[in-house]
Each structure stands twice: as structure tokens, then as C-alpha cells.
Amino acid sequence: LELKKYLMCKKKNLDFYTFLKNFKEQISSLNLKNTIQKDYILKVLFFSDRHLTVEDIVELLKKHYNLDIAITTVYKTVKLFEELNFITSLEIEGSPKYYELNHSISHNHLICSSCFKIVEFIDQVIELKQQEIAIKHKFTLNNHNLVIYGLCDKCR
């Protein structure tokens, strides 16, 4: 029971092995190969409570699983995972890309300019307004990226 709770992901409300099984099935059905590299990169992202850069992923693979996976492989893999909608990316001014498990629900980020803490939020009013604006300008909305920069309470 304790183990099961540990394996749950807050974001997906799912245990890792169910998630991994589904993942492996999707990889197979696309005629791609299941590998240790893919599994562990996914695992690191699944259990992380923060947004990770490619470099972070390499370090965590080494630290937690003593695995040496080439950074090139991680770049290729996160690109694939993003295309398959397993993960999403976040661009922050002057930083490498950050990755996180796909929440399915559209959300935005509030970032502290000093300590780089990232807070996620959802706002239905902003979501709807964006739809309105897209329609007004005759755009078909596909995704958006709202990042608010500020100072968190600890840093000011």
C-alpha cells in the first residue's frame, strides 16, 4: 500500500506501471522499439515534481538509477515524447527547454525571476478570452504559452 502510494503520480492520478504499460503499447503500435532508455526517461519525468531540462534528466538518470544515457539520446527521446503528447515543453527566457509529463489540461506558468521557482495555474477566464481573441483575428487556436515573470514572496 505504501509502495502503491509512492508510485502514484499526482498529475496523472495513476500508478507508474499502468502508465508504463500503456506507454509501451503505444510505442509498439507505432512500430517503434521499446528500450530501457525510453522507459527510464519516462520514469524520471513521471516521478519528478518539477520541470526538467534535458541536462536534468541525464543527471537524475545517473543519480537515481545509475544509468548513463547519452544526452543526444535524451534530446531525441524528449522530442519523440513531445510529438506523441506524452510530455509537454515550456520555454523560459534565456533557459533551455523544460519538460514535464503531459497534464492534458491546459495550464500556465508563473516563474520567479530570482529563484526560478515555477508555479502552475489554470484560469478558465484566460482560456476563454484566448479563444475569443483567436476567433476575432480569424485564427485557429492550437496552443498557447503564457508565462508570467515576477518575484516570489521569499525572493523579494
Partner DNA sequence: ATGCATGCAAAGAGTTTGCACCTAA
Partner DNA sequence: TTAGGTGCAAACTCTTTGCATGCAT
Q: Does residue 57 belong to the site contacting DNA (CB under 7 A)?
A: no
Q: Is there a contact between 105 and 122 (Cβ–Cβ < 8 Å)?
A: yes
Q: Does residue 59 belong to the site contacting DNA (CB under 7 A)?
A: no
Among 12, 79, 107, 117, binds DNA (CB under 7 A): 79
The strand ranges marked E within 12-54 are 14-15
Q: Is there a contact between 138 and 122 (Cβ–Cβ < 8 Å)?
A: no
Q: Is there a contact between 58 and 71 (Cβ–Cβ < 8 Å)?
A: yes
Q: Does residue 116 belong to the site contacting DNA (CB under 7 A)?
A: no
Looking at the DSSP bridge assignments, the partners of residue 88 are 100
Selection from DNA, a copy of itself, none that 66 binds (CB < 5 to 8 A by kind) is: none
Q: Does residue 112 belong to the site contacting a copy of itself (CB under 8 A)?
A: yes
Cα-based distances in Å from 2 to 6, 8, 47: 6, 10, 15
Residues 113-152 that bind a copy of itself (CB under 8 A): 113, 119, 121, 123, 125-126, 129-130, 133-134, 137-152
- Grid cell for residue 133: 481573441
Residues 11-30 that bind DNA (CB under 7 A): 27-28
Binding footprint of DNA on the chain (CB under 7 A): 27-28, 31-38, 53-55, 68-73, 75-77, 79-80, 95-97
